[in-house]
Amino acid sequence: MAQTVTTTKTLSLNDRLVAGVLALVLGSFLIFGVGLAHSAALHDTAHDTRHSLGFPCH
């Protein structure tokens, strides 16, 4: 019992929300840059990654 409590209680609800929102924003930013941004430099750099991960391209 004590163990199940520690796994869920290591982060308080507040910390969990802060970490979750932070990860959501940072993750979306990275995915937008690598997969969706229309910048020519980003497109050319991530070209093969975009094609192989099925991002709409060209």
40 lies in the site for other proteins, by CB under 8 A: yes
Whether the CB-CB separation of 35 and 53 falls below 8 Å is answered with: yes
3-state helix, strand, coil in the chain (%, to 5): 75, 0, 25
9 lies in the site for other proteins, by CB under 8 A: no
- CB count within 10 Å of CB 27 equals 10
Min dist. Cβ of residue 24 to other proteins (A)? 4
Q: How many residues interact with other proteins (rule CB under 8 A)?
A: 46
Q: Which chain residues interact with other proteins by CB under 8 A?
A: 6-8, 10-11, 15-24, 26-31, 33-36, 38-58
